[in-house]
Structure 1
Amino acid sequence: MSGGRTGSATGFGGFVARAAAAGDLVVQPRMGMSDPGAMRAGLLATRRAAAATVGTITLDSYTRTGEIAAARRAVAEGVGLNGYPIVSHGPEVTRTVLSGIADAGFPVQVRHGSARPEAIFSALLAAGLDATEGGPVSYCLPYSRAPLHEAVASWERCCELLAAARDTGREPHLETFGGCMMGQLCPPSLLVAISVLEGLFFRQHGLRSISLSYAQQANLRQDEDAVAALTRIAGELLPDIDWHVVVYAYMGVYPQSPGGAQLLLDEAARLSVRTGAARLIVKTTAEAHRIPTVGENVRALETAAAVAAEERRGAAYARVPDSGVYEEARLLVEAVLELDTDVGRALVRAFAKGYLDVPYCLHPDNAGRSRSRLDDRGRLHWAGAGSMPIAGLVEKGRAPMLRSAELLGALNYVQRTFDQRAFESPVGAATAVPR
């Protein structure tokens, strides 16, 4: 779904808006190869897939953690990396990778995971790219020990650097990773709030085309409610820029069986269609075992697109009743914004006060007093809200704090559930409608 102004005719956001207007869900792989030839082949295969696709260049661990010298040594010595070292390869190599593939009909996004990504932003812009993702909170707390205030300052500079590309006639795009904090066991209201807050941060620093993320959790109905809340709050607070919602296929322990993995991806595609999300980042049936091949990524793109198309043609479904996600998320956003007119300073103060507190996150700037619990239907509840301003909304006594064995069980809930569904209905595993 696009919000605010009509989607711009150019750039990553413009492509997604046009696809949405045509009734297509844009599907995107998680893909990154260190060898430029392999990266080019992966992008070409993605473009040729029988679906509305955008390309991905995912960066290597050295580059995302700022160890550029180590990445350059690996490139010089021909050592394979777990992603594309965009800084080390330099702009000319990357331009060759993109030549004849990336254009208005197939935009490419750089995905990284860096808390302090100035070198990455400079490299992608020099190579002619202008779409990437992350955020000052969502790429700091899960992936880094960097102080949050340093990450905020870095992302301020990066946003302004990316926004400056508008002066050359481009429409840069930035996607918040805020709806994916820790991948799992984070109640939806906090995911929605952080996604919106990072979107507001991007707008404050000059971006006019953004996307707001939400990671699929363990209950389809709760996820539908969460994406509806995200869409509603974004419409209220970001009416003056272009935005769309992107859903991530489940980011936790993945089903081990091909059928279970396919059922889980099918559910992510249905979630995207039912909530009006414009883009889906897929996973493959190989996720539990190894890095997927290009062919497996293409199959995941095509099957997700097919399930989405089938869902659009299907019978109408009732809107999921509001379960309180909107109220909690809106209260969190408002409490943070009241701390400072500058969104970055407000975020730093919010974590210092415990107004934002991510369950099971060990970063030094996270208060660590909140806890969550998964019930027997896969719904996430707060077991403890810490100092967050939603304590009065959290139902007391319903969700006791997890013990270690219960935490392990919760982390494996989705894997067990979907593998069991596939076992019970192996023939219809690719088309069965989850409960």
Structure 2
Amino acid sequence: MELKNEKWSLDKFKEIREEVLQQWPTGKDVDFEEAIEYHNNLPEEQIMAEKLAEAKEEDVTLIQPRAGVALIDEHIELLKFLREEGQADLLPSTIDSYTRQNNYEEAEAGIEESREEGRSMLNGFPAVNHGVKACREVVEALDAPLQVRHGTPDARLLAEITLAGGFTDYEGGGLSYNIPYAKNVSIEQTLLDWQYVDRLIGYYEENGIKINREPFGPLTGTLVPPSVSHSVAIIEGLLAAEQGVKNITLGYGQCGNLVQDVAALQSLEELAEEYLADYEDVMLTTVFHQWMGGFPQDEAQAFGVISWGAATAALGKATKVITKTPHEAMGVPTKEANAEGLRSTKQVINMLRDQSLLSNDKLEEEKEMIKQETKQILDRVFELGNGDVAQGTVRAFEAGVLDVPFAPSKYNAGNLLPARDDDGAVRFLNHGNLPFSDEVVEFHQEKLEARGKSEGREPNFQMVIDDIYAIGKGRLVGRPRS
């Protein structure tokens, strides 16, 4: 099938759908018409798009954790705890790694082993194996909207089952759930697979059901320059809107410099509104991900990192924030630690609810630079695709025009090297083949040279390494030891 940014016909979608629903036995329980009726009977408090629209209107930042375990009752218990004890506004179901790789046989074995051991032997909720009925058990036990969080290059069957099961938000995309997660999956294939997901959600929309779509903003999570993540987010937003998606949440992962992060959140929404202007009735919201890199092992220090992310989300006026826990450096958190991360985030957000970061020259400079860089990347993507953003995206990755730092995919050039400047903002030490103007390139060079001068060293790869580990060691900028 040829990849184009063109809305799939219903006949084409239904033809492929027959194959998708046969990938695992639980697919036979998906009945679209019956699922529409089920969604129509959901209370408004469980519809993600409604909650996000309300938050956007009231200028409130909602909080949402990551969480998922293998067995249904335990998963419900965990989410109830995070809702009640953690004060979560929105709830997730983080999917296990076997399901993310479409390895349902191993997921089934993990379920059985979890039952035998009396604890979760999977790192998430195996929704495909549990099926539609079990997903509805989870939905009906809770009083908040549920989002599917995963990391799946081919997420078609997972989408069918969870959406029929009453989930009202679906995360990911053909780039953000491929480039950072897979090595050998082609970009063309994942874009096609995610066109299916978006067409499914568009089909729900055509039948009056609001399903929110959220591309995964942080990508590889560490030191990703805002213009790189913005370009991917906007491309995935455009691809979703073409298939009929009407509710889109674009994400951004914390870099650490307050001014740059606030500028990134503001510019992301402004740019998205500009690029999606041709699509009618699309509601855009934003999500901010607290620090996705290394955390301090000390819990008190970890709370400092969490609180800084909460403050940034609040001052940047993100519609929601995905929280972290004080156990990030130690592996899977306890439900108590997860709730503590939520409550500390809620406290800071409530304190800052009526405050804003006043416009200043630094903020405006950052916004303008992020916008320039993003537009230069996207303009070249459209040019490479002769106006087709899907085809242009494939060619842009081949040419290194789109490039994600530290990604495992062999379809990603991997030429970018980001490093922090003297104030901790993320700059390009090496911009690879990104199509930047001389002005942009010089801006980044000057910023990094200023840091090098203050540290008495030339900007180099050691800076990148130092910055990757800095927050885990209690700093933002990886300074040489004195």
Q: Normalization by structure 2: what TM-score?
A: 0.80
Q: Give the structure 2 partner of residue 31 of structure 1.
A: 67
Q: Which moved more, 1:339-348 or 1:64-73?
A: 339-348
Question: Where in structure 1 are there 5+ consecutive unaligned residues?
Answer: 1-8, 421-435
Between stretches 191-200 and 353-362, larger displacement belongs to: 353-362
Greater share of residues in helix: 2
Q: Could you tell me which amino acid in structure 2 is paired with residue 350 of structure 1?
A: A
Residue of structure 1 equivalent to 2:175: 137
Distance 2:313 2:476 in 1: 22
3-state SS, counterpart of residue 251 of structure 1 = coil
* Aligned match of 2:425: 379
Distance 2:401 2:459 in 1: 19
CA deviation profile, 1:318-360 (whole Å, cap 9, x unmatched): 4423221111112212221233333222211111122111223
How big is the shift at 1:407?
Answer: 3.3
Equivalent residue letter for 1:291: V
Separation (CA, whole Å) in 1 of partners of 2:354 and 2:190: 44
Helix, strand or coil for the counterpart of 1:297?
Answer: helix
Residue 3 of structure 1 aligns with which residue?
none
Give the distance between the partners of 2:343 and 2:77, measured in 1 at CA.
17
- 2:38 paired residue number: none
**Using a 3 Å threshold, how does the CA distance of structure 1 residues 419 and 255 change in structure 2: closer, same or farther?**
farther
Counterpart pick for 2:243 among 190, 201, 205:
205
Q: Do residues 394 (structure 1) and 430 (structure 2) align?
A: no
Contact 1:33 1:39 (8 Å CA) reproduced: yes
Which of 60, 76, 80 is matched with 1:44 structurally? 80
Report the 3-state secondary structure (helix = DSSP H, G, I; strand = E; otherwise coil) of the residue aligned with 2:330. Answer: coil
- Matched to 1:188, the amino acid is P
Using CA pairs under 8 Å that are at least 6 residues apart, name the structure with larger relative contact order, 1 or 2: 1
Question: Residues of 1 paired with 2:88 and 2:111: CA distance?
Answer: 33
Secondary structure of the equivalent of 2:93? Answer: strand
Contact 1:263 1:418 in 2 (8 A): no
Q: How far apart, CA to CA, are the structure 1 residues paired with 2:248 and 2:434? A: 27
Report Cα offsets for 1:142-188 as digits up to 9, x if no partner: 101211111111111111112212244310111011x3121012211
Q: One-letter code of the match for 2:202?
A: A
User: Offset of 1:33 from its aligned partner?
Assistant: 0.8
* Mapped partners of 2:186, 2:193: distance in 1: 11
**Cα shift at 1:362:** 3.6
Q: Does 1:75 align with 2:111?
A: yes
Using the alignment, how far apart are the partners of 1:67 and 1:52 within structure 2?
31
Which whole-Å CA distance do the structure 1 matches of 2:198 and 2:229 have between them? 21
Amino acid at match of 1:297: N
User: 1:273 — aligned with what?
Assistant: 314
**Are 1:99 and 2:140 matched, yes or no?**
yes
- Which residue identity does 2:412 align to in structure 1? N
AA at the equivalent of 2:416 = S
Structure 2 residue 259 is matched with structure 1 residue 216: no
The corresponding residue for 2:187 is 148
Letter in 1 for 2:84: R
Distance in structure 2 (CA, Å) of the matches to 1:418 and 1:259: 14
Show structure 2 runs of 5+ residues with no match.
1-43, 116-120, 449-457, 478-482
Tell me the CA shift for residue 83 of structure 1: 0.4
Aligned to 1:19: 55
Structure 2 residue aligned with 1:158, among 188, 197, 200?
A: 197
* 1:23 Cα deviation from its structure 2 partner: 4.3
Q: 1:248 to 1:90 in 2, by over 3 A?
A: same
Q: 1:214 touches 1:248 (CA, 8 Å); kept in 2? A: yes
Q: TM-score scaled by structure 1?
A: 0.88
| 1:79-119 Cα distance to aligned partner (Å, 9 max, x none) | 621100001111112211222314xxx11001010011112
Runs of 4+ in 1 over 6 A off after TM superposition: none
| Corresponding residue to 2:364 among 311, 318, 321 | 321
**Which of 55, 64, 67 is matched with 2:100 structurally?**
64
Residues 272-421 of structure 1: pairs in structure 2 closer than 5 A:
272-314=313-355, 317-319=358-360, 320-323=363-366, 324-340=369-385, 341-392=387-438, 393-395=440-442, 397-398=445-446, 399=448, 402-403=460-461, 405-418=462-475
The separation in 1 between residues aligned to 2:432 and 2:182, in whole angstroms, is 23
Taking the aligned partners of 2:48 and 2:287, their CA distance within structure 1 comes to 13
**RMSD of equivalent CA atoms:** 2.2
- Superposition deviation, residue 314 in structure 1: 4.4
SS in 2 for 1:244: strand
Other structure's SS at 1:327 match? helix
Determine the structure 2 residue equivalent to 1:111: 149
* Residue 175 of structure 1: aligned partner: 214
Please give the alpha-carbon distance, in whole angstroms, between the structure 2 residues aligned to 1:213 and 1:51: 22
| Offset at residue 418 of structure 1 (A) | 4.9
Q: Which whole-Å CA distance do the structure 1 matches of 2:222 and 2:52 have between them?
A: 26
Q: Distance in 1 between matches of 2:156 and 2:357?
A: 46
After TM superposition, give the deviation of residue 397 of structure 1 in Å.
4.1
For 1:191, the equivalent position in structure 2 comes to 229
Task: Check whether the contact 1:385–1:391 (CA below 8 A) recurs between aligned residues.
Answer: no
Separation in 2, partners of 1:317, 1:261: 28
**Residues 419, 427 of structure 2: 8 Å contact kept:** yes
In the aligned structure 1, how far is the partner of 2:346 from the partner of 2:377?
A: 34
Aligned to 2:158, what secondary structure does the other structure show? helix
Quote the offset at 1:401 in angstroms. Answer: 6.3
Contact 1:25 1:273 in 2 (8 A): yes
The alpha-carbon deviation at position 50 of structure 1 amounts to 6.6
**What secondary structure, in the 3-state scheme, does the structure 2 residue paired with 1:90 have?**
helix
Alpha-carbon distance in 2 for matches of 1:181, 1:285: 22
Letter in 2 for 1:176: P
SS of the residue 2:329 aligns to: coil
What code does the residue aligned with 2:52 have? Answer: V
CA distance in 2, matches of 1:221, 1:416: 22
What code does the residue aligned with 2:302 have?
A
Structure whose alpha-carbon radius of gyration is higher: 2
CA contact (8 A) 1:28 1:301 kept: yes
**59-68 vs 12-21, which moves further:** 12-21
Residue 86 in structure 1 maps to residue 127 in structure 2: yes
CA distance in 2, matches of 1:34, 1:121: 18
Letter of the 1:169 counterpart = G
- 338-347 or 111-120: which moved more? 338-347
